[in-house]
Structure 1
Amino acid sequence: MKRINQLTTPSFLVDLDKMEQNINDTAELCKINRKLLCPMVKTHKSIEIANLQKAHGATGFLVGTLDEAEKLVQHGFKDIILAYPVAAAENIERVIELVKKAHITASFDGIDAAMQMQKLLIKEKLTVDYLIIIDCGLHRFGVKPDKAVDLAKELSELSTLTFKGVSTHPGHVYGINNLSDIERVAQEEIEALEMAKDCLVAAGFVVEIVATGSTPTLQFAVQNKTVTTLRPGNYIFYDAIQVALGIAPIERCALTVLATIIANPSENIFIIDAGSKCFGLDKGAHSASLVSGYGIVKKHPELIVEGLSEEVGKIRATQQTSLKVGDKIEIIPNHACAAVNMSSFLLGHRQGFVEKMIDIDARGGTNRKPW
């Protein structure tokens, strides 16, 4: 077996021991609190990793794209939730093909996309379960909690759609920078779901599912009695943003990019052979900036990833360093979900020895024709 320091660069690495611990810990947390775990697949876009999550108790999967959904169904997964509304006939037709093979739950925050789906479902004589998306503060998708009943009444007129519950995503948590504020956002998340459920129940609707998901607020939401389903994604890898938020220590970050120092143009500047096409340009989600630089250089706190071109990066040494041209370094990306999408595979290792290749086989465009 090769050591990771013998690999060509750039290489996308995943520490299997850390990833498996992260998966197990979150699964156990949900089990102890009697919550269903339905992880977000967009973080890893890998059937192998989804199978590992399923083996640890995941009951279904949340998807960000139809490609992810199709790939999961192709490999025998039977319970898929669409995170966002799907609109336009060409896209809805793909959903309908999935409905014929698996249990697909749609998500709506308005009547228009639902009416478009209704037309095609009638034609195919099919029905679909759905969740109403609640806005708990991110102000992206969703209706205000007190407007959930109005939308539910509109959607109840569509005979092919069956109401199952509500969902939300507290993405605005990435706009804060300490644990006390994370708890505050989690409380907003919970209060929005509780209000929506209470209003719906009072109006005569049966609310079976109350779903939410973000890695930062998981520790708080999992304890709430109203929430039935948790849908985190980033927890399997963690990243520099999660470290900045105080959610995970550096030691729990499983994903790194291996890069080689290829130039030393001045005393404190080094150039590496990995750039924005490996790390992305994130410094935080939803326009927030939580970190300095574009990743954490493992074992080298004196280094900052100061800038990125497409294929190379600039490292600045803030103190004396022993590094030289030809040395290899591991960098924890700011945003693991975006970094994984840059590669077709990850190299899984234990104790520094490469054990396997993990395909990133549910990325966009992997499972459909262009027309």
Structure 2
Amino acid sequence: MKKSELQTPAILVDLDILDYNIKRYQYLCNLNRKQLWPMVKTHKSTEIVNMQEAAGSTGFVCGTLDECESICKLGVKNIMYAYPVASNANIQRVIELARKCHFIARIDNYDSAKILNYAAETAGVNVNYTIIIDCGLHRFGILPDRAKDFADSLREFKALVFKGISTHPGHVYSAAKPEDIQQYVDQETNAIKEAADVLRAAGYALELVSSGSTPTFLGSISDETINIFHPGNYVFNDCIQMSTNTAKESECALTVYTTVISHPSENLFICDAGAKCLGLDQGAHGNTALKGYGYVKGHPELTICGLSEEVSRFHAEGSTTLKVGDMVEIIPNHTCSTANLTSYLLGCRGDTVERLIKIDMRGNSTTKNFR
């Protein structure tokens, strides 16, 4: 099937670009003797996990316990969950995961650690963990100079096994231009080094020192302290990555395919892909670098100036060749959101649609009795 034969809207993934992105980041990790444990939440796809493993990934970090359980069923051994757990139901899921794989929880507070330890002791299971270090995002984490004191406070929990430290420089997504990135790389690497040095000086062994984001990856991959990297968005890339030269247009694998269905005034066009395909993301953490809600490939004169649930509005600056009936591809601002809005991607090479790739790990946590 050719793209022009598709019903729209459709969410496409260029298989050649996807393969290139996966292999490129794995190559850079191998070159720098680092492990790549990609973030699954970007794609939520069993098939893409298999592609990443085949390229050399030795573990994964997940944004939901659904993702953790899904990849555990695939036989993945090293699985890290990005956030603390505190509810009884989720703690029981962690206990089961710890029985089945090399599972690593992340901890940044005494109270959730106490609850998790009690449940693990009761179940007769040990749960591995890393301490979350705050490198500037100020969402989760312990400040680097408090790492030893916090680690000491967790020593009483005999069912919890200390494995190291983790951080996430997510505040890099407030960067508005390429030259802004280095300051976030510095914050990431300095924070993780300070915490690691403090802990090692106190006698702690750090098996895992993990960090990562797609924008900081190239700047921090040669860091001497970090041994595991967790980029996620790199598999698809998007307008956010383009805004900081983290990726070029030719490295953006995921697009929304849409048809122009109306031309109500001279400079206004309407297409049949709206917020339910593109999402409403205009940049995280105060980013003001993005213009509109995505980039229309081949039409730099167009700005996606507004979204309804099912349609988008394009505004043309000056002349344009666009007309009703044209089919165009949009690079979303944030591909993680777009992938989460569909049950499958259409895998393409050039103009040929080759296969369907299921997004089979999305959705909220479900109660076992209702599965």
TM over 0.5: yes
The normalised TM-score by structure 1 is: 0.98
Aligned to 1:30, the other structure's residue is in SS state helix
User: Which residue identity is paired with 1:17?
Assistant: D
Structure 2 residue aligned with 1:133? 132
Question: Which residue identity is paired with 1:27?
Answer: Q
Describe the SS at the equivalent of 2:129: strand
Contact kept? 1:304, 1:316, Cα under 8 Å: yes
Please give the alpha-carbon distance, in whole angstroms, between the structure 2 residues aligned to 1:323 and 1:16: 27
Letter in 2 for 1:313: S
Map 1:190-209 → 2, pairs under 5 A:
190-209=189-208
1:67 is aligned to 66
1:298 and 2:297 correspond: yes
SS of 1:301 mapped into structure 2? coil
Residues of 1 paired with 2:284 and 2:77: CA distance? 30
- The answer to whether structure 1 residue 244 and structure 2 residue 246 are counterparts is no
Number of the residue aligned with 2:271? 272
Aligned to 1:188: 187
Q: Does 1:311 align with 2:318?
A: no
| TM-score, with structure 2 as normaliser | 0.98
- Residues 247-277 of structure 1, C-alpha deviations (whole Å, 9 max, x = no match): 1111110000001111111011011111111
The answer on whether the counterparts of 1:67 and 1:368 sit within 8 Å (CA) in structure 2 is no
The 8 Å contact of residues 70 and 367 in structure 1, kept in 2 or not, is answered as no
**Cα deviation per residue 1:124-161 (whole Å; 9 max; x = unaligned)?**
10001110000001110101000111110111110001
- Please give the alpha-carbon distance, in whole angstroms, between the structure 2 residues aligned to 1:101 and 1:119: 19
Q: Does 1:97 align with 2:76?
A: no
- 1:24-63 Cα deviation digits (max 9, x unpaired): 0000000000000000000000010000000111000000
For residues 27 and 55 of structure 1, the distance between their equivalents in structure 2, rounded to whole angstroms, comes to: 10
Give the Cα–Cα distance (whole angstroms) in 1 for the partners of residues 289 and 67 of structure 2.
29
CA distance in 1, matches of 2:135, 2:151: 17
What count of residue pairs does the alignment treat as equivalent? 370
Tell me the equivalent position of 1:8: 7
C-alpha displacement of 1:16: 0.3
In structure 1, what is the equivalent of residue 358 of structure 2?
359
User: 1:38 and 1:327 mapped to 2: Cα distance?
Assistant: 40
What is the percentage of aligned positions where both structures have the same residue?
50
Q: Find the aligned partners of 1:198 and 1:364 in 2 and give their Cα distance.
A: 39
- Displacement of 1:287 in angstroms is 3.6
Query: How far apart are residue 180 of structure 1 and its match?
Result: 2.5
Q: Which amino acid aligns with 1:253?
A: C
The 3-state SS of whatever aligns with 2:215 is coil
Worse-matched range after superposition: 347-356 or 278-287 = 278-287
Task: Give, in whole Å, the separation in 1 of the partners of 2:338 and 2:249.
Answer: 17
Alpha-carbon shift at residue 289 of structure 1 (Å): 2.7
Tell me how far 1:366 sits from its aligned partner. Answer: 7.6
CA distance in 1, matches of 2:306, 2:345: 24
Which amino acid in 2 is paired with 1:146?
D
Aligned pairs for 1:310-349 within 5 A = 310-349=309-348
Conserved in 1, the CA contact under 8 Å of 2:185 and 2:220? yes
Read off the aligned partner of 1:173 and give its amino acid letter: V
Worse overlay, 167-176 or 46-55: 167-176
Alignment of 1:42-121 (within 5 A): 42-121=41-120
Give the match for residue 39 of structure 1: 38
Distance 1:190 1:93 in 2: 34
Instruction: Establish whether residue 288 from structure 1 lines up as the match of residue 292 from structure 2.
Output: no
Q: Find the aligned partners of 1:216 and 1:136 in 2 and give their Cα distance.
A: 15
SS in 1 for 2:214: coil
Map of 1:255 onto structure 2:
254
Counterpart position of 1:210: 209
CA RMSD of aligned residues (A): 1.2
Structure 1 distance, partners of 2:329, 2:190, is 41
How many angstroms apart in 1 are the aligned matches of 2:289 and 2:61? 26
Instruction: Judge conservation of contact 1:87–1:116 (CA < 8 Å) in 2.
Output: yes
Secondary structure (helix, strand or coil) at the match of 1:217 reads: helix
Amino acid at match of 1:43: T
